[in-house]
Amino acid sequence: MQGDLMKTKRDFLKTPIEYLKNVGPERAKQIKSELQVSNFGELLNHIPFRYVDKSKFYKTTDLGRFGDQALQLKGRINSIKEVSSGKAKRLTALFSDDHGSIELIWFSGIKWIKPILMEASNFIIYGKPNRFKGKWSIAHPELEKVGAQSSQKANLQPVYSSTEKLGSRGLHSKGIHKLMLNLLQHPEFSIPEILPSALSSKMGFFSRKQCYVHLHAPKTLEQLQKARFQLKFEELFIVQLQILKLKLKKTKNRGHVFSEVGDQFNTFYHDFLKFQLTNAQKKVIKEIRKDLGTGLQMNRLLQGDVGSGKTIVSLLISLIALDNGFQVALLAPTEILAQQHYASYSEQLQKLGISCALLTGSTKKSERKKILPQLEEGTLKILIGTHAILEDSVQFQNLGLVVIDEQHRFGVAQRAKLWNKGKEKYPHILVMTATPIPRTLAMTFYGDLDISVINELPPGRKDIKTIHLYENSRLKMLGFVRQEIDKGRQVYIVYPLIEESEKLDYKDLMDGYEGLIRHFPQEKYPLGVLHGRMKPSDKEFEMQRFVKGETKILVCTTVVEVGVNVPNASVMVIENAERFGLSQLHQLRGRVGRGQEQSYCILMTSHKLTSEGKERIATMVRSNDGFVIAEADLKLRGPGDLMGTQQSGLLNFRIADLVKDEKILAMARHAANELLNSDPNLENAEHKNLNLYLSQSQKIAGWGQIS
């Protein structure tokens, strides 16, 4: 039956795991359930998470010198003792070398361990020493008879992730390794090459088959390091190739030519712009204008820290679109952010007599009936909104520019819907994010986009002073808040929860609100409340009260993270700051510091901080630079958490690590670029396997292809 299942090299990887020696149907079911491994290819890609160097032997006198590190010792079993205490049993053995002795203990598996101990006296043991009542012991050590097979074994032994269920059936790490060796020694074992031979040769790579042998059964550290580097490179190369192919495809998309910088842009720029643009803003506008004149669709990411002036750049580019006779759509992820953009655009564009409209899920039917015909006729030039813009009923006459704010909150399919709202040609796409993105993530998530960065804050902006206070300094914090309000300022107080949680021991918003009312008399210090469970109309009402200065303190959750612009707010208090990610803390801090006065961010925490929590808080106090914050966040949380669940599928790497492997990623991207420059469609004979791999409609699970 095995022969029938493996007619081609490709089929070998798809072979169900039950056909592997020592597996069978029952074990296969368990492995699939516990490890999500169902075929040979997925088993090969169950990669060891560490390796144990079995070339080193330690002495019993070394115990305690290496912390809780597992050690390997060689010696003899002097005595064996089985102890019963009620129903509980344990097996102990006294193990000695020439320098001392240690007790070995087993609480389970006694029936099969005891005969092994009685068969021989000389053993190699491996395990983590523990000290109890002044004596050293090792519980459940690995055992190997001296001289049994040790001379044939590799010094570097892989350690695989397993589960308790599998371990009880002999499929602990060592059991999985035995299966892996069976697979590597299979007479039909083969893996098709993917990388072009010229690239593999240039990089000095093994064959893929040899690479996996060195990964799972390395004889030397050098073999292992080379194999791991090769697989990381291959994985990142495939991802970058797909991203760059998409970019190449996009660069061929026909786009509208915006040849005019006309009256509306010039009038606004010269007569109504209240401030000088920074050099960074001017540079970005030039980059965008160049894209808009090529006749190809623009796909550009605009990165800028909180308060760097991305919105005014998008407004000026929108005016260029209008000058060339086209409409503009601005898509925001939340109603509050959409309303903020609408308020900003409306206020500034009314001077030019340009109307814009707001379309969200809560827009009334009567209002929609006015907006949609105007949009289709072309009399409405700018539409700002949320996902509601994506609905089929929303049709433009000549959509020329789409601005997407906080793009990582929208999926590819949603972007495609906007593309298709353009007539004849694709609209230009300008993606904005206030979350500075580390270079490795930008190359992965936004590798298909050209990137512009506003790395300069407007003149006159003062750095926000960030202060860390513990719970016992609460009165000090409240006194400072009172002082700032007495100066005419306003304050945000942000809580991580809306209502009480039994599992999470930290303050919720409603408790905090009630405590603040007792501390701040409402006639002098009026409070407002804002959280995600409120109706949109109630949110807008509370937000407007704060914007107008009618409330002095806004008690809220993270709904203020993006889009809220109140220049008079000078203090941001974040309760239980240790519960927030670094980038989120930075975004929240960016809600203040928008006026000319000195602003403050106060991070309130309990004394019980994890080492990671301490590092997050220290980073916030130390730096106001969003890119420094983003790099630190990437190292602390990893890319999956940082970019959110929408994009998490792109991060399911088998072996590569975007934090640690930035140099390999850059090499892979360079190699992918070179390859596509020489053969954009991968039509050359030497690229046949690579093209086949990329174009497969069905993914071989575990082999890193992005569908």
- What's the pLDDT band for 598 if we cut at 50, 70, 90? very high
Check whether 9 has a pLDDT greater than 80.
no
Whether the full predicted model's pTM is greater than 0.85, yes or no, is no
Q: Residues with Cβ < 8 Å from 45, sequence gap 6 or more?
A: 654, 702, 703
Higher pLDDT, residue 30 or 88: 30
Residue keyed to tokens 């190739």 = 241
Check whether 62 has a pLDDT greater than 70.
yes
Check whether 14 has a pLDDT greater than 80.
yes
Residue keyed to tokens 């149907």 = 25
What pLDDT digit, counting tens, does each position of 77-112 carry? Answer: 888 888 887 778 889 999 999 888 899 998 887 888
pLDDT given for residue 267 in this prediction: 93
pLDDT given for residue 637 in this prediction: 64
Check whether 246 has a pLDDT greater than 80.
no
- Domains in the chain, start-ordered, CATH in brackets? 2-48+185-216 (no CATH), 55-153 (2.40.50.140), 263-454 (3.40.50.300), 465-623 (3.40.50.300)
What pLDDT digit, counting tens, does each position of 401-437 carry? Answer: 999 987 555 555 566 677 677 777 889 989 888 777 7
Long-range CB contacts for residues 630-635, cutoff 8 Å, separation at least 24 = 630/435, 630/436, 630/437, 630/438, 630/582, 630/583, 630/586, 631/438, 632/582, 633/581, 633/582, 633/583, 634/438, 634/440, 634/441, 634/658, 634/659, 635/659
Lowest mean pLDDT among 18-32, 36-50, 155-169, 254-268: 155-169
Would you tell me the crossing angle of helices 582-589 and 626-637 to the nearest 10 degrees? 150
pLDDT given for residue 477 in this prediction: 95
Check whether 569 has a pLDDT greater than 70.
yes
pLDDT given for residue 214 in this prediction: 94
Cα distances from 533 to residues 359, 538, 543, in angstroms, run: 20, 10, 14
Distance CA 498, CA 383 (A): 33
What pLDDT digit, counting tens, does each position of 605-648 carry? Answer: 998 888 888 989 999 999 888 878 877 877 776 554 444 434 44
Question: What single letter denotes the amino acid at residue 486?
Answer: D
Lowest mean pLDDT among 168-177, 316-325, 432-441: 432-441
Which residues partner with 159 through β-bridges?
Answer: 50
Largest CA distance in the chain: 96
Q: Which structure tokens are listed for 56?
A: 């080193």
Whether 571 and 511 have beta carbons less than 8 Å apart is answered as no
Q: Which residue in 514, 519, 482 sits closest to 495, CA to CA?
A: 514
Q: Which structure tokens are listed for 279?
A: 């050099």
What pLDDT digit, counting tens, does each position of 335-354 carry? Answer: 878 888 898 899 889 888 89
- What's the pLDDT band for 502 if we cut at 50, 70, 90? very low
Whether 52 and 173 have beta carbons less than 8 Å apart is answered as no
268 secondary structure, DSSP code: I
SS3 for 403-462 is EEECHHHCCHHHHHHHHCCCCCCECEEEEEECCCCCHHHHHHHCCCCEEEEECCCCCCCC
- What's the pLDDT band for 697 if we cut at 50, 70, 90? very low
